[in-house]
Structure 1
């Protein structure tokens, strides 16, 4: 696409990540003829929107640019004639994440933002809102691109493309960026001189690496990163525990794992660490709340007109920069090599044709052109197909409000115990998040009327937060 005056709208504009987003645009000022940036939030996020919005204006002024920055709570009108819409919102704010983590962990079950019970509930809350945003876009900006980095990014992107029909959607995650940087560092080869092929789904992908001579370096990297001579493995992810992968397992797999595979390959150790954090009142959500409070105090400084280093501690560094690069690559047909969530269309042979996968792709003026991956070996294929079936079921529950589908998803998810525990967790989390789950309203009313022990348990637990 080509346009001389771009309008970019960010839903969740009051996010602590927004300064990185603005920095990314500024770094690409020669590629992005921006005229207007609209930062949109909800009433509950108004204060943060105003703080971060004023900082965005300072960043742009310091760069000597005349871009207009608009702050608003009126999403529908903000979307008028937008060229790109980016999404970085959190339904229920960080307090919802606290519930996602603490309620499962109180039962000795993993609580995590995008994995297990917590990840499924984040999808239940988020997917209907993506549907509402797309409904507004159909009226206000029918030709706009939707660039999503709201978690769980893969499921949200699949819902946007497959269920709400917005084909011009690309999902992003910062995790592959870190894996690329680690590989380049370990091989002592510039990142742009390596070829990476990632394939799987969001937070559940594997990758291979080649050099410019055509030699595959994957096996060597398994040794360099995860081998027995390594004192610690290179977990670049700030938000998850650095438990050691089993070297022999990765050697047999002949693939480099995603950092989040720790929750599945070494589940017991990851769960143990999460429970320890829970018992100390230091779940990731609780830590992030404190980090965000510090960031917004920094953002209030009228002299601050650049992204502070402290933002890298937030856990999502590179997210916003990736969004800026996708926009620049579409705008200029740059064909940048990136890892994105996009329609499979046969890229991974083992996966449904119309599902969304996270894969290496060239980003062109007409969207993502994925690299063909082909088939997975059984050890990866079995896990991946099970996880995709879970995702598809979560999306169906989120869209329809089907309690049966939600329970089915909890049963499929490998990080949630089956049977009574799956139902207990589902009911407790439904009640805890009732304000943001209108599609489940009838079931929640039934829980409140007939399960006083559920209501009491959740209320008491959250009081102790």
Structure 2
């Protein structure tokens, strides 16, 4: 089995490699290829990756290359974890929206749109080269904004599934609170990427007992602290919103916070410099503790589980993925990309039935889906007016003066990445 990671020079990669090493019985990788144009980073990450495999007794071969076509040739699955423009572009995404009084964040709002415009054309080019190399290869997208990127891939006919670590993070945290094993915890997870709610927590599978009311009653303070929303709000909603709902439910509070502290991009950039220095130490043969602060907790477990199921070697029967709606949420188009529990196998994910969604959540999902459609149109066809329309449609923006000002800033800060600008 050959797996390729595009963006293999990322400081995330040792987390992924550690998962491949530990979970080799679930996903027996014979060749792991790390592809990245940044040769200096790739050398450091690749060296640590080989040492991690060796320490854990994994006999698989690790190859590093800057040649994308060679890297994806013959791959059974390709994982995408790239960042077009690097942390410098992320820094801008998190700062210029604040100038207009809007949330500055890399995956949602105006910053998320900027990232989508930079990313979609690059990912589609990669996917075409994967298809030429192996038409049956699966593409697993971890590149944000996952919903829009996955929608672009699926619309172009690629064998693609989007992956996010929010659900597996909740699963592990809830399991700890409930004194259960993670495998016992089945989430009724519904919405769009970075716009989801846990509407049920069942023990033992999709038909098991729903213990969400007990979870909130007994551990509501801990859950509320984790998602950074007030406990009374969770009690009134009766669900657990993802952390990203804070950008919607407490927008002005978040803007005030973001204006008074360094950007997350600046924190991550400093962390990356320290991590890369660690990776260069030939004595280091495991992922360092600092990597846990980088983000992406449990990413490796989720990626192994998904790849194993898609490639027919095992994996959990039900997994939270980003995939086509196909009537699952009847108020959305069939070609919308939703994030829900699905049965996953070699032919891809099949969403499990979802109970009727509360109108309180349904309206926001429909609104953001419309924005994502406009965002994808702007990413594929370009043009200032398409960018403006997407920004005006986003519920975190929604005013024409903001949309105009944000359009100007988005284009100015991303001109080198926009072929039409």
TM-score, normalised on structure 2? Answer: 0.94
Instruction: Say if 1:293 and 1:81 are closer, same or farther in 2 by CA, change over 3 A.
Output: same
**Residue deviations 1:102-159 (CA, integer Å, cap 9, x gap):** 1112333210011111011111111111110111112111110001101111111111
Q: Structure 1 residues 413-422 or 71-80, which shifts more?
A: 413-422
Structure 1 partner of 2:79: 86
- 2:299 is matched with which residue: 311, 314, 319? 319
Tell me if structure 2 keeps the 8 A contact 1:245–1:265. no
Instruction: Give how far 1:220 is off.
Output: 2.7
Tell me if structure 2 keeps the 8 A contact 1:225–1:234. no
Instruction: Give how far 1:13 is off.
Output: 0.6
Instruction: Give how far 1:260 is off.
Output: 0.8
- 1:253 is matched with which residue: 237, 246, 249? 237
Tell me if structure 1 keeps the 8 A contact 2:26–2:304. no
Q: Structure 1 residues 171-180 or 415-424, which shifts more?
A: 415-424
Tell me if structure 2 keeps the 8 A contact 1:350–1:375. no
- 1:204 is matched with which residue: 166, 173, 195? 195
CA distance in 2, matches of 1:214, 1:93: 43
Instruction: Give how far 1:329 is off.
Output: 2.2
Q: Does 1:275 align with 2:275?
A: no
Structure 1 partner of 2:414: 433
Instruction: Say if 1:68 and 1:187 are closer, same or farther in 2 by CA, change over 3 A.
Output: closer
Tell me if structure 2 keeps the 8 A contact 1:122–1:151. yes
Q: Does 1:185 align with 2:169?
A: no
**RMSD, aligned CA:** 1.8
Tell me if structure 1 keeps the 8 A contact 2:26–2:315. no
CA distance in 2, matches of 1:54, 1:10: 15
Structure 2 partner of 1:171: 162
- 2:393 is matched with which residue: 398, 412, 418? 412
Q: Does 1:61 align with 2:80?
A: no
Q: Does 1:350 align with 2:343?
A: no
Write the mapping of 1:98-137 to structure 2, written as runs, cut at 5 A.
98-137=91-130
Q: Does 1:97 align with 2:90?
A: yes
Structure 2 partner of 1:72: 65
Structure 1 partner of 2:228: 243
Tell me if structure 2 keeps the 8 A contact 1:245–1:266. no
Structure 1 partner of 2:141: 148
Structure 2 partner of 1:362: 343
Q: Does 1:216 align with 2:223?
A: no
Instruction: Give how far 1:189 is off.
Output: 2.9
CA distance in 1, matches of 2:338, 2:255: 27
CA distance in 1, matches of 2:297, 2:91: 21
Instruction: Give how far 1:181 is off.
Output: 2.0
TM-score, normalised on structure 1? Answer: 0.86
CA distance in 2, matches of 1:152, 1:33: 29
**Unaligned ranges ≥5, structure 1:** 1-5, 236-241, 442-465
**Residue deviations 1:283-331 (CA, integer Å, cap 9, x gap):** 1101110111111111111011111111010022222331122112223
Structure 2 partner of 1:463: none
Instruction: Give how far 1:50 is off.
Output: 1.1
Instruction: Give how far 1:182 is off.
Output: 2.4
Structure 2 partner of 1:24: 19
CA distance in 2, matches of 1:64, 1:194: 31
CA distance in 2, matches of 1:214, 1:145: 31
Tell me if structure 2 keeps the 8 A contact 1:62–1:305. yes
CA distance in 1, matches of 2:130, 2:223: 47
Tell me if structure 1 keeps the 8 A contact 2:305–2:316. no
Tell me if structure 2 keeps the 8 A contact 1:339–1:360. yes
Q: Structure 1 residues 105-114 or 15-24, which shifts more?
A: 105-114
Tell me if structure 2 keeps the 8 A contact 1:84–1:145. yes
Q: Does 1:139 align with 2:132?
A: yes
Tell me if structure 2 keeps the 8 A contact 1:349–1:374. no
Instruction: Give how far 1:333 is off.
Output: 4.1
Report SS of the residue matched to 1:363.
strand
Instruction: Give how far 1:58 is off.
Output: 1.3
Q: Structure 1 residues 81-90 or 334-343, which shifts more?
A: 334-343
Structure 2 partner of 1:455: none
CA distance in 1, matches of 2:138, 2:225: 35
CA distance in 2, matches of 1:302, 1:246: 47
CA distance in 1, matches of 2:174, 2:106: 26
CA distance in 1, matches of 2:211, 2:222: 21
Q: Structure 1 residues 182-191 or 194-203, which shifts more?
A: 182-191
